[in-house]
Amino acid sequence: MCIRDRFEGMRNLVIESSGDLLVDLQAMSLWKALNTAVAALKRAWPPPQRVNIDLHPIPIIIERQSLALRQLLYTLVLEAVGNAIKHGGPAPYINIDLNWADNQIFVQIIDHGQGFDLEAHPFSQYGLGFWQTYIIQHLGGTFHVSSQPGFGTVVSATIPVIPARTESY
């Protein structure tokens, strides 16, 4: 499954849970798109269990990256948050953090759900398995999931970014 299909799938999930919500990364910042999606997912969470999703501010250098990279980040975050909602059981708290250092983007999504045994539930070629393969093999980054039953899950990735060439005149 290609990034575009994965992006559209997660976008459709957000739209389904929020009605007429439109997420357009060409017209809005990554932070605003994620914040809009998070708000829709919070509304879709079944009562009486409410989820608290914290989205940290996104550094401006990440916001200035290409549309394709911002779409990739958006889709990756929604995949992890979607998994926390779908598989994590009552995860009352999800933390989303994207940072930049040394020409790399660091992504970390922590959920306080039920967690799972990584050995008993290996990744398929879809979902987190797709991201693991794509980020490591195609982007030269790192991808790690740590989880333990009863203690939630942490999804972290490092994505190297080749800085845009600036020309002086």
Between strands 153-160 and 104-111, the pairing is antiparallel
Higher pLDDT, 137 or 123: 137
Rounded to an integer, what distance in angstroms lies between the CA atom of residue 4 and that of residue 1? 8
Beta-carbon contacts of residue 60 (< 8 Å; ≥ 6 apart): none
Q: What is the pLDDT of residue 19?
A: 46
pLDDT at 4 over 70: no
Rounded to an integer, what distance in angstroms lies between the CA atom of residue 29 and that of residue 80? 20
pLDDT digits (tens, 9 = 90+) for 48-102: 667 788 999 999 999 999 998 998 999 899 889 888 877 776 667 899 999 999 9
Rounded to an integer, what distance in angstroms lies between the CA atom of residue 98 and that of residue 57? 8
**Number of CB atoms found within 10 A of residue 168's CB:** 3
Q: What is the pLDDT of residue 133?
A: 92
pLDDT digits (tens, 9 = 90+) for 6-63: 545 555 555 454 444 557 888 899 999 999 888 887 777 666 667 788 999 999 999 9
Q: What is the pLDDT of residue 141?
A: 97
Sign of CA dihedral 144, 90, 8, 72: negative
Q: Minimal CA–CA distance to 41: which of 71, 5, 7, 78?
A: 78
pLDDT at 169 over 60: no
Q: Minimal CA–CA distance to 66: which of 25, 22, 109?
A: 25
